[in-house]
Chains A and B, each alone.
Chain A
Amino acid sequence: MKWPYPVKYRVETDVKTDVLIIGGGIAGCHAAISAAKKGVKVAVVDKASVQRSGSGGAGVDHWGGALTNPCSQITPEQAMQPQPGAHSPFHGKYAMGHLHYVASKESWDALLDLEQMGMKIRDTDDDFTGAPFRDEKTKLLSAYDYKSWEVLRVWGADVKLFLYNELKRLGVELYEHIMATSLLNEGGKQGGRIIGATGVNVRTGEFYVFRAKATILATAQPLRIWVFNTELVGSNAEHDDPNLAGDGDAMGWLAGAELTKMEHSTESAGPFRYPSYGTGNCGNTWYPCTMVDANGKEIPWVDGQGNILKTYEERIKHGGQGPQAAHIIDDLPERILKGEYKQPFFADLPSMPEYERKAIFGLMVGNEGKTRIIYNMYTQAGFDPDKDMLQQNVLPPHLTIGVPPWDMKTSSPQWRATAFMAGGGLLVDWDMRTTLEGLYAAGAQTAGGGGHPPSSATGRYAGRKAAAYSKEAEEPVVDRKQVDDEKARVYAPVGRKGDIGWKELHAGICRIMQDYCGKYKNKEVLETGLWWLNSIRESESARVYVRNPHELWRFLETMTRLTVCEIIMQASLARKASSAFLDFWRVDYTDIDPPEWDKFVTIKLEDNKVKTGELPLDFWLRPPYTPDYEENYRQHSGL
């Protein structure tokens, strides 16, 4: 059967714009809106339809850290004070303070923008009148702790549709179903000003050359680096978008931009999973649901000091996130092993007060990413939260606390993953600019970024900064040789008589990461791993066949991941110490967080050779910046 789209390999289309945004997810859309409002020409490139692309495409229910909201009890400046015992990835030694501050300052404004666009952010239909988590004046709903209003509950199932409509209204040009494949430098030289990008249409194979005065990378974090297997759960092994290959990291790297924290990784759930938020739970979207065991015995909750909380009222009085707030008993695993609580466990929604039950199953499960489908599917199958208790998937006892049950995390130490939030990526400054002129980054693309509200804030910020730069910048002039070299690379597998499919290549690269970049590292293992990656580049990757533009797309993403793997291994070699904060363990450098390694290790290519560097852990408060967050924001935010 023939391919249903017109096939246009090597056919070239040229696009000229002022601000090019690569990635039309949350950060990219807010950036595009922000830039367009500055009166410049904006183009967004996305591999999918911007209506639903990215991790935010299937919804959002929690809006955390919008500290300038009218009910908030904490200011952004207060939030930047050291927070002992803080649970969030945005606190702690390797947090990027300037990004956290911008998120705290602007994510409420981003939410108000969304309200203007038509999204519901407060209980305007009075479904929760009288609930302890509703503020009567503003009708805002709080999540977790009903005192500090740090996290709001929002009706975000269709957030991308509102953003999409706003993009269209503002005349932003959308280049959908196109994968950006490389950045273009002034003069075609690595390290030169970024003046555009190349792309390939994932359905037709057509080639695009984008010329832009300013470029914003917003392709989020790389996924499927250590684990890839679609045989079990399709592309549902991750909560986040399966198109996240780390394109921005790879493109930035090859163009000469600096990255940091790429050595940071976390445990992976492996290739198994249950649908996100789709099994009974008491955390996150399901907080603070009562859990009962197989015989209906309620599993107790405790406060931060370990005192039993006997009633729902007591539970919410101590509500919040992290170990200091109300949570299920810490020794549940031991008590399961002794037979005191018997799995399977169930989320006892019928026992919750009606407003809490409705909030959990109906608002939260219903609007959070990939939960509208859960709500619809489960209710259509007869599930009624007034009567039914959703079962939690049966887990090894130690996994019944601390991690979402559907993520399972039953995997091997060799199966790692990039961090969900505040992981590694492109280094950006108070202008959201990378180390390359003309190149900005926002959202999970940046080292230390990520999460829905922070991405909306840094996107918004980067958009106006890139727009301001584009108004002063010189015309972009493309180096034809750089384009031709890239075109040759992109189409190399087309028409080739290969014997390996993209999936085998992808799984093979993951295997190298498992073997040579697993939890426990040493120099010899990392160097052997780099040898393997280079060898795969020469051997198997040159034998991959593609039979249509979709396979070409997936092949190119796999090559992106190959580059990302190389960056991760190089970054791992560069940090010659272990770190508990970075979940980074070297058996040849066993000192854990020695003071001389309390720094960011940076990495980039210069003349195609790896160059490492370092930055202090508070570089955003040191020269050329001031030691004050508010002052730096005043000077740089562009407001």
Chain B
Amino acid sequence: MVTENQAYLVPNPMTPCLPVVIDPELCTGCNSCVEVCRTDVLMPNFEKGKPPIVLYPDECWFGGCCVESCPVPGALRMEHPLNQRVGWKRKETGEYFRIGMKNPPPPNTRPPVGS
């Protein structure tokens, strides 16, 4: 946590920075995501029930297996790094949107077909 007027002797931020974002309020520390991540991006927290530590964000494959394994909707979400974010155009209006924009359109809640 960075506070005003404080400076920290730390290495440069890793890139990608934070491919996996965990909501500490929702996460139950079940560690399902830790179990399925093939590159061990996530490490179990020392405290039982607490969210895993994102130790190796640079090794993320963006497979999303962690998100699929999470039993609590919204507890864990995946973010592509800025250099992989894509955009789209609304056909009728010509409006342009993208992943990561400031005021995104409302979510499309339709699930994948037939799953």
Given A235-B59, A279-B86, A391-B88: A379 touches B108 (CB 8 Å cut-off): yes
Which among A370, A375, A382, A384 is the interface contact of B104 at CB below 8 angstroms? Answer: A382
Taking residues whose C-beta sits less than 8 angstroms from the other chain, chain A's interface range is 35 or more
Q: Tell whether A358 is near chain B: CB-to-CB under 8 Å.
A: yes
Question: Is the CB–CB distance between B35 and A49 below 8 Å?
Answer: yes
Specify which of B39, B67, B99 lies most central, judged by the most chain A CB atoms within 10 Å of its CB. Answer: B39
Which among B53, B80, B81 is the interface contact of A377 at CB below 8 angstroms? Answer: B80
Contacts of B29 in A (CB 8 A): none
Which among A57, A391, A550 is the interface contact of B38 at CB below 8 angstroms? Answer: A57
Question: Is the CB–CB distance between A390 and B86 below 8 Å?
Answer: yes
Q: Which residue in chain A gives the minimum CB-CB distance to B78?
A: A373
Question: Is the CB–CB distance between B105 and A58 below 8 Å?
Answer: no
Question: Is the CB–CB distance between A367 and B112 below 8 Å?
Answer: yes
Given A372-B112, A381-B104: A348 touches B81 (CB 8 Å cut-off): no
**B7-58 CB contacts (< 8 Å) to partner A:** 15-16, 19, 35-40, 43-46, 53, 56-58
Question: Is the CB–CB distance between A47 and B38 below 8 Å?
Answer: yes
**A302-351 CB contacts (< 8 Å) to partner B:** 346, 348, 350-351
Stretch of A65-73, A120-128, A488-496 on the interface side: A120-128
Question: Is the CB–CB distance between B62 and A370 below 8 Å?
Answer: yes
- Give the shortest distance, in Å, between A223 (CB) and chain B (any CB): 11
Which among A5, A57, A370, A382 is the interface contact of B106 at CB below 8 angstroms? Answer: A382
Given A125-B114, A363-B112: A241 touches B61 (CB 8 Å cut-off): yes
Question: Is the CB–CB distance between B63 and A370 below 8 Å?
Answer: yes
Contacts of A157 in B (CB 8 A): 68, 112, 115
Question: Is the CB–CB distance between B112 and A362 below 8 Å?
Answer: yes
Contacts of A51 in B (CB 8 A): 35-36, 65, 69
Q: How far is the CA of A572 from the CA of B105 in the complex (A)?
A: 53
Question: Is the CB–CB distance between B80 and A275 below 8 Å?
Answer: yes
The tally of residues in B whose CB lies under 8 Å from a CB in A reads 54
Q: How far is the CA of A274 from the CA of B39 in the complex (A)?
A: 19
What string of 1s and 0s marks CB contacts (under 8 Å) between B64-93 and chain A?
Answer: 110111000000001011011011111110
Q: Which residue in chain B gives the minimum CB-CB distance to A158?
A: B68
Q: Which residue in chain A gives the minimum CB-CB distance to B67?
A: A373
Q: Tell whether A556 is near chain B: CB-to-CB under 8 Å.
A: no
Question: Is the CB–CB distance between A366 and B115 below 8 Å?
Answer: yes
**A346-402 CB contacts (< 8 Å) to partner B:** 346, 348, 350-351, 358-359, 362-363, 366-367, 369-370, 372-384, 387-391, 393
Q: Which residue in chain B gives the minimum CB-CB distance to A234?
A: B60
Question: Is the CB–CB distance between A372 and B97 below 8 Å?
Answer: no
Which among B39, B64, B84, B108 is the interface contact of A372 at CB below 8 angstroms? Answer: B64
Q: How far is the CA of A43 from the CA of B115 in the complex (A)?
A: 31
Given A235-B60, A366-B113, A373-B62: A550 touches B16 (CB 8 Å cut-off): no
- Give the shortest distance, in Å, between A218 (CB) and chain B (any CB): 15
Stretch of A225-233, A254-262, A415-423 on the interface side: A225-233
Q: Tell whether A202 is near chain B: CB-to-CB under 8 Å.
A: yes
What string of 1s and 0s marks CB contacts (under 8 Å) between A167-205 and chain B?
Answer: 000000000000000000000000000000000001100
Q: How far is the CA of A157 from the CA of B112 in the complex (A)?
A: 10
Question: Is the CB–CB distance between A391 and B89 below 8 Å?
Answer: yes
Question: Is the CB–CB distance between B60 and A389 below 8 Å?
Answer: no
Question: Is the CB–CB distance between A232 and B15 below 8 Å?
Answer: yes
Q: How far is the CA of A377 from the CA of B3 in the complex (A)?
A: 31
Question: Is the CB–CB distance between B64 and A370 below 8 Å?
Answer: yes
Contacts of A123 in B (CB 8 A): 114
Q: Tell whether A144 is near chain B: CB-to-CB under 8 Å.
A: no
Contacts of B59 in A (CB 8 A): 230, 234-235, 242
Question: Is the CB–CB distance between B61 and A234 below 8 Å?
Answer: yes
- Give the shortest distance, in Å, between A527 (CB) and chain B (any CB): 34
- Give the shortest distance, in Å, between A482 (CB) and chain B (any CB): 29
Q: Tell whether A273 is near chain B: CB-to-CB under 8 Å.
A: yes
Contacts of B83 in A (CB 8 A): 232-233, 272
Given A233-B84, A242-B59, A550-B56: A52 touches B38 (CB 8 Å cut-off): yes
Q: How far is the CA of A359 from the CA of B100 in the complex (A)?
A: 26
Q: Tell whether B110 is near chain A: CB-to-CB under 8 Å.
A: yes
Q: Tell whether B109 is near chain A: CB-to-CB under 8 Å.
A: yes
Q: Tell whether A53 is near chain B: CB-to-CB under 8 Å.
A: yes
- Give the shortest distance, in Å, between A583 (CB) and chain B (any CB): 26
- Give the shortest distance, in Å, between B27 (CB) and chain A (any CB): 16
Q: Tell whether A243 is near chain B: CB-to-CB under 8 Å.
A: yes
Q: How far is the CA of A243 from the CA of B60 in the complex (A)?
A: 11
- Give the shortest distance, in Å, between A131 (CB) and chain B (any CB): 11
Given A155-B114, A382-B104: A391 touches B86 (CB 8 Å cut-off): yes
What are 10 inter-chain pairs, A to B, with CB distance below 8 A? Answer: A52-B38, A52-B65, A120-B114, A232-B83, A235-B62, A242-B38, A280-B88, A363-B113, A366-B113, A372-B112
Residues of chain B having any CB pair with chain A under 8 Å: 15-16, 19, 35-40, 43-46, 53, 56-65, 67-69, 78, 80-81, 83-84, 86-92, 97-100, 104-110, 112-115
Q: Shortest 4 CB-CB distances between A and B: which pairs?
A: A373-B64, A382-B105, A366-B112, A362-B113
Contacts A377-B78, A389-B89 aside, 7 further interface pairs with beta carbons under 8 A come to A127-B114, A232-B15, A275-B80, A378-B88, A381-B97, A381-B99, A387-B91
